[in-house]
Structure 1
Amino acid sequence: MSAGPPSAPSPTLSRHLILLLSIACGVAVATIYFPQAISPLIADGLHVSPESAAVVVTCAQLGYAAGIFLLVPLGDRLRHRGLVTTLLLVTCAGLVLAGTATALPLLAVASALVGLTTVVPQILIPMAAGLAEPERRGAVTGTLLSGLIGGILLARTFSGILGDWFGWRAPYLVAAALVLVLTLALAAVLPATTPSTDQAYPALLTASLRLLRTEPLLRRSAQYQVLVFAAFSAAWTALALYITGPAYNLGTPAIGVLALVGAASMFATPIAGRRTDRQGPDAVNSACMVGAIAAGALLLTGRLGGSVGLAGLGAGMLLLDVAMQSGQVANQARVFALRPEARARLNTAYMTCAFLGGSAGSWLGVRAYSAFGWNGVCSLVMLLAGLALLRHALRTRPVATPEPQQVTAPTPGTDSAPAAP
């Protein structure tokens, strides 16, 4: 295995390149989130129930989890420029297929294809972490994640408004055009990177599983994100059903407005990155888990209805967004410090777990809403975040003491030191 020399291309990690990579993360990830806002429009357009239309969201997230596991490890094996542009071109084709689908099964398959190949952020973030100086790794990761957050949240505003004006197909087709432009830009400016391994593809896949088994800090980070991201996905998926239903009887643009409020969370991730660099990931995780529990309680004010209820929903979703995304910064800083030569494979293991949790959260959110209404969704958010906090509290038990020895052996990076239980 060749230890990839990120030191060679590191001067190319300029502020302009970081900005473009941040935009790329946002545009790419938006393709799996904007269906959350237009699922009621899809239901009307394809003459299915809203609960059935929500399967489009679940398929996109399942496809994303599969893409992370199957494709992201190639970030250690192939040059980033060719890999990223190829994936984006396939994503563009999938969006066109989705935008022209005439039945729900075809739309679900197209959504899964889009999710499978739009994993570009999970390739670019480890790449940028490898090009950044160790003392800036958390800040750079936080900056790219702020773009990713903007894509997640603004995607709902984009699709909610565009879908209301021109129908549910318009967001898919406009997104396809944006992805094509992004592909051309990245093909021109991505630095020439050197693969860090020449392992065969099957070995790359098993390496991700092996890392998950042998790296306790990777497992712990993944467990945190599975639970908090499940809470996040449950809330957003059910929110579209709630505010377009009898309680508020609003259109899809209202979902976009709430998402626009939540987009303010993109400014929190660079702060979380700097705090992670200074204080370590555990301190940030603690605050984020408490924040997610508080968000679930705040979302209960949505039961009040009217402008007060909408304000409560906006504040609760903003707090939940900040908690989930800031925790992501802390988790990835911990994970990327473990083995610099295997960052893509580490990220594969971590993000596959995270998006399996997100997919489960979307499914659970719809079930909780159908069975118990909005109170059930809020209770589910608090339960999942509470389980994450409990896992975090138990990290100091004696059984966890081998973790620092396993982490400090592969790398003496400063990010991993404060993360030791």
Structure 2
Amino acid sequence: MGRGTRLLLAVVCGVAVAGVYAGQPVLGPMGDDLGVPRDAAGWFVAAGQLGYLAGLVLLVPLGDRLDRRRLIAAHLGLVAAGLAVTAAAPVAWVAFGGLAVAGLFAVVVQTTVAYATSISPPAERGRTLGVVTSGVVAGILGARVLTGALADLGGWRGSYLALAVLAAVLSALCLVALPADVRTGAESYGRILRSLAGLLIRPLFLSRGLIAFFLFASFGTLWSGMALPLAAEPWHLTETQIGLFGVAGLAGALGAARAGRWGDAGHAGRVTGIALVLLLGSWLAISGLGWSLWLLGFGVLVLDFAVQVVHVANQHLLTTAFPGRTSMVTGGYMVFYSLGSAAGAAATTAVYAVAGWPGSAILGATFAVGALLTWAAGKILGVGGENGHRRATSKLDREGSSRC
């Protein structure tokens, strides 16, 4: 895989996932425009996450059966359609519907990750995952900067329209620039779905999935709730200024670009534990939002570094353990991601309405503790460490490899 292909796949991931998170810095104005109260504004993000959840179960497994290049192009086109509907929404329910559609087909991210791993040499799989998933985090965080700037210039609708255009252009480009990745189609769609359900009894998969749930619930607590206190006293920041905190998060995430190489070197389990300790510690700084923006920025940088390290380590272990089922296992893993993100997004605005930012900070730290305890339990039980993926490989996985 060349550098240009890696870059294109990273951009695809970034734009697709940006549509799900673009509302975070403009939840207040978006809710005011569409008649949604501020204590329920987090549902704009949660709607996209719930659509994403459905796509993970129903759409991502198709990548183990069909040409992933065509799936990537088709799903990007449908992401563009959902974002365009959101940009033009006259009432809240239309916006929720558009966001759910955009989220449903934003699972092109997972198809892209599976595609990238399938065309990478095994010795470079971690490096490729590091680059491509950096695009995911860049999209999540860069969307805040773009959305905030465009919201000050032309309202929140302009940001969704810009992302719709980008997704449409990328859809056409992928058909031209990416090599085909034809699946044999030998295994039925129904059998693939049944195999997806069977992953829940795999200790490594369940352990890493639960870590992802708590990890992204903590992540969502920060990014879906932070705009509300920053727009209020004593800061009164504009949407552009709020979006600029995405730069700190982006720096932290890109600082973790070597996480894939750590996985290639066999250190995925160890670095997960270190990163989760950093995640928990980041909330000490983030809780100081009420009196220091510099402290908040430092906490954001550390949190996003930790999240990226753990996310890459999770995917590296799982795609190594289930080499013939990369689409299925990636999609199944991301179900936990989506549930966690939706839980964090919905809970943080509700908690903030009752207990202010200190309450949201406690919520985010609690999710971080959950991730750390899950990792520790896996360590004690002998799953999820450097050698856990070898023990997790089963008859199902070997059969999947031969069929695919």
Q: Could you tell me the TM-score, scaled by structure 2's length? A: 0.93
In structure 1, distance between residues paired with 2:65 and 2:237: 48
Matched ranges for 1:308-387 at <5 A: 309-387=292-370
Q: Which residue of 2 aligns with 1:66?
A: 54
Deviation at 1:398, TM superposition (A): 4.9
Deviation at 1:46, TM superposition (A): 2.1
Matched ranges for 1:389-404 at <5 A: 389-398=372-381
Pick aligned residue for 2:392 from 400, 407, 410 = 407
- Assess, with a 3 A threshold, how the Cα gap between structure 1 residues 181 and 398 changes in structure 2: closer, same or farther: closer
- Assess, with a 3 A threshold, how the Cα gap between structure 1 residues 197 and 297 changes in structure 2: closer, same or farther: farther
Aligned AA for 1:281?
A
Q: Is the 8 A contact 1:53 1:104 kept in 2?
A: no
Q: Which residue of 2 aligns with 1:121?
A: 109
Q: Is the 8 A contact 2:207 2:383 kept in 1?
A: no
In structure 2, distance between residues paired with 1:316 and 1:403: 31
Pick aligned residue for 1:261 from 248, 259, 265 = 248
Q: Which residue of 1 aligns with 2:267?
A: 280
Q: Which residue of 1 aligns with 2:222?
A: 235
In structure 2, distance between residues paired with 1:404 and 1:311: 40
Deviation at 1:194, TM superposition (A): 2.4
In structure 2, distance between residues paired with 1:403 and 1:281: 10
Q: Deviations over 1:175-209 (max 9, x none)?
A: 11111111111010121112155222222222111
Q: Deviations over 1:200-226 (max 9, x none)?
A: 22222221111222x211111111110
Pick aligned residue for 1:184 from 172, 183, 188 = 172
Aligned AA for 2:219?
F
In structure 2, distance between residues paired with 1:150 and 1:398: 34
Q: Deviations over 1:246-292 (max 9, x none)?
A: 34221211221111221112422321111121132111211110011
Pick aligned residue for 1:99 from 87, 106, 121 = 87
Q: Is the 8 A contact 1:196 1:342 kept in 2?
A: no
Aligned AA for 1:116?
L
Q: Is the 8 A contact 2:10 2:134 kept in 1?
A: yes
State the identity as a percent.
32
Q: Is the 8 A contact 1:337 1:411 kept in 2?
A: no
For 1:337, what is the secondary structure of its paired residue?
helix
- Assess, with a 3 A threshold, how the Cα gap between structure 1 residues 405 and 343 changes in structure 2: closer, same or farther: closer
For 2:235, what is the secondary structure of its paired residue?
coil
In structure 1, distance between residues paired with 2:397 and 2:264: 15
Pick aligned residue for 1:143 from 131, 140, 155 = 131
Aligned AA for 1:323?
A
Pick aligned residue for 2:238 from 251, 255, 258 = 251
In structure 2, distance between residues paired with 1:146 and 1:73: 23
Aligned AA for 1:407?
A
Q: Which stretch of structure 1 is more off in the superposition, 189-198 or 13-22?
A: 189-198
Q: Which residue of 2 aligns with 1:6?
A: none
For 1:270, what is the secondary structure of its paired residue?
coil
- Assess, with a 3 A threshold, how the Cα gap between structure 1 residues 380 and 168 changes in structure 2: closer, same or farther: same
- Assess, with a 3 A threshold, how the Cα gap between structure 1 residues 118 and 399 changes in structure 2: closer, same or farther: closer
Q: Which residue of 1 aligns with 2:163?
A: 175
In structure 1, distance between residues paired with 2:134 and 2:95: 29
Q: Is the 8 A contact 1:268 1:326 kept in 2?
A: no
Q: Deviations over 1:316-368 (max 9, x none)?
A: 11111111111000000000011211110001110011111110111121122
In structure 2, distance between residues paired with 1:327 and 1:15: 24
In structure 2, distance between residues paired with 1:287 and 1:196: 41
Q: Is the 8 A contact 2:126 2:316 kept in 1?
A: yes
Aligned AA for 1:311?
W
Q: Is the 8 A contact 1:269 1:329 kept in 2?
A: no
Aligned AA for 1:224?
I
In structure 2, distance between residues paired with 1:237 and 1:369: 11
In structure 2, distance between residues paired with 1:16 and 1:410: 36
Q: Is the 8 A contact 2:320 2:389 kept in 1?
A: no
Deviation at 1:410, TM superposition (A): 5.4
Structure 2 spans left out of the alignment, 5+ residues: 399-404
Aligned AA for 2:298?
A
Aligned AA for 2:364?
V
Aligned AA for 2:226?
L
Q: Which residue of 2 aligns with 1:302?
A: 289
Q: Is the 8 A contact 1:149 1:265 kept in 2?
A: no
Structure 1 spans left out of the alignment, 5+ residues: 1-12, 414-421
Aligned AA for 1:242?
P
Q: Deviations over 1:19-73 (max 9, x none)?
A: 1111111111111011111111212322432223321111011111111111011
Deviation at 1:408, TM superposition (A): 4.2
In structure 2, distance between residues paired with 1:412 and 1:52: 43
For 1:269, what is the secondary structure of its paired residue?
coil
- Assess, with a 3 A threshold, how the Cα gap between structure 1 residues 71 and 409 changes in structure 2: closer, same or farther: closer
- Assess, with a 3 A threshold, how the Cα gap between structure 1 residues 373 and 187 changes in structure 2: closer, same or farther: same
In structure 2, distance between residues paired with 1:130 and 1:236: 32
CA-based RMSD of the aligned residues comes to 2.0
The total of aligned residue pairs comes to 396
In structure 1, distance between residues paired with 2:220 and 2:4: 32
